[in-house]
Structure 1
Amino acid sequence: MSTESPPPGDVTTDHPDWETVQRSPEFQALRTRLRRFVFPLTGAFLVWYLLYVVLASYAPGFMAIKIGGSNITVGLIFGLLQFVSTFAITTWYVKFADRKFDPHAEAIRREIETGEIER
């Protein structure tokens, strides 16, 4: 890394070298942490959603079972639980990101801005 100041207006030094940023251990750790959270949770939600669709298609008798003698059926409860699980996952992700992702992303941003990660 050169100790000379870049010429004013040099476009190549106005932005970080994103390949260097991506190779940094901090960025790799952040990406790994994100993938370990997002991929399993996405897979679990897709299985849950597919279960609902499969049951609705191939087990209509089960989905039509009335709960407690009212007009509320197993299918209706499963359908409503799709919404509940979506909001729960979103809330969980936001809280998890606030605690685990955002502080590290902010640290990486500061390193880029201060030049600690090579430009």
Structure 2
Amino acid sequence: MNPHHTTHSPAYERIKANPKFQRLARQRAILAWSLSALVLAIYYLFIMLVAFVPGWLHLPLYEGSNLSRGIPLGAAIIIFSWLLTAWYVRHANTRFDALSAEILEENLA
């Protein structure tokens, strides 16, 4: 038997052909690619700041501060990424999981 050839059950084929499943897959892909692009753009912009205006990042956060602007900016980027991940997980666990359960219920019942 060819290891790349698998037989799919009729339920699998019904789910794959279901318009709700196709919409779910498309929505998940669009959201995942959009969030990935957003995070990559933010990190890229930070690297551009480091490369082209490092002096601005070295300036003190406020008058008399020993903390430079770069530290809170870098921390904000990391925290933003965590929050975006948490939002995606919550969104996936509510909307996507509910739609997945609905699709399974329709096609396996």
TM range (shorter): 0.7 to 0.9
CA RMSD of superposed structures (Å): 2.0
SS of aligned partner of 1:46: helix
More helix by share: 2
Percent identical among aligned pairs is: 27
Equivalent pairs, count: 102
Q: Secondary structure at the match of 2:67?
A: coil
Q: Report deviation, 1:17.
A: 5.5
> Tell me, which stretches of 5 or more residues in structure 1 are unaligned?
1-11, 115-119
The aligned amino acid for 1:65 is: L
- Over residues 54-113 of structure 1, what are the superposed CA-to-partner deviations in whole Å (9 max), with x where a residue is unaligned? 111221101111111212111111210121011110111122112211101112222343
TM-score (norm 1): 0.73
TM-score by length of 2: 0.79
1:41 alignment partner AA? L
> Which runs of structure 2 are paired with 1:63-78 in the superposition (5 Å)?
63-68=57-62, 69-78=64-73
Task: Report the structure number with the largest CA radius of gyration.
Answer: 1
Q: Tell me, yes or no, if the aligned pair for 2:11 and 2:107 is still in contact at 8 Å.
A: no
Alignment-derived partner of residue 34 in structure 2: 40
Q: Note if contact 1:16-1:112 (Cα within 8 Å) is conserved in structure 2.
A: no
